[in-house]
Amino acid sequence: MVNRVFKAKDLYGAEMEFELREPERDAIISADMQYRIAYSMALKEGILPREKMRDIFKENDIWNEADEAKITSLIKELGVLTLKLDDVTKRGDKDECIKVAEEMAKTRVQLFQVFLIQHSCFINSCEGYAELVKLEALMAASVFIKANNQRYWKTYKDYLLERDHNSIATVAIEAANVNNTILEERKDVLINDYPEQKWLHKMQADMLEAATQQAKAMIKQRVEEAFNVDVENQVTSGQNG
């Protein structure tokens, strides 16, 4: 269980105790509003909606029909293997359980990898940007001062002003660290709940992390091939310029 209480310096430099709580109803409503605001701002800035990004990905073969078919196939395969594992578990065949579990793990990792490629068009869309703002607003609205039980930031704007223009305060950084730890714990719980996990000697989290890196490399390669560019060199050139 993650400790949600943390110490940090407020905007005046005073060290205090804070707590990152589960979001309350008003925090969720406020975060939904920030999502809509962020989406509108992204459109005005020229960021494309998710469906348009998906069309561009398909037009340039970064995401294609073969990828769509692969996702469908892997989902079906995972369903069949889940039923198979349930059957061999009931029969008490340990060796077969391990064998099927390993097949399931490999299939799930493949599905995760393809999903990451598909999801990349969402991350760079209006919806992706707005979702990040929403999650940040939800976190900001859930930070409370332990001493008086009051919200630290009254509004999302207060949070942004402190985060971006106050070099003394550390509440935003420490709250984000606690939030990331909570998310990591939830991910680990989810992975450990996979039916195949109990039979695996190698932690599936390591396999999924490796799949993440491979997916990033595949996305980079596809973008470079589609637009005839070297992503890394362009980034380096931009930084040097």
pLDDT at 84 over 50: yes
Q: Are 143 and 20 in contact (CB under 8 A)?
A: yes
pLDDT tens string 125-180: 999 999 999 999 999 999 999 999 999 999 999 999 999 999 999 999 999 999 99
Q: How far apart (Å, rounded) are the C-alpha atoms in residues 40 and 32?
A: 13
What number is the average pLDDT over the span 204-213? 67
Amino acid at 179: N
Q: Which one has a higher pLDDT value, 108 or 191?
A: 108
**Domain ranges, residue 225:** 5-9+16-240
Q: Locate all alpha helices (DSSP H) within the chain, ordered by sequence.
A: 25-44, 50-59, 65-91, 94-123, 126-140, 156-165, 171-192, 204-227, 231-240
Amino acid at 226: A
The total number of structural domains in the chain stands at 1
Please give the model's pTM, rounded to 2 decimal places: 0.70
Q: What are phi and psi of 202, to 5 degrees?
A: -90, 130
Least trusted range by pLDDT, from 40-54, 92-106, 227-241:
227-241
pLDDT tens string 34-57: 999 999 999 999 999 988 988 888
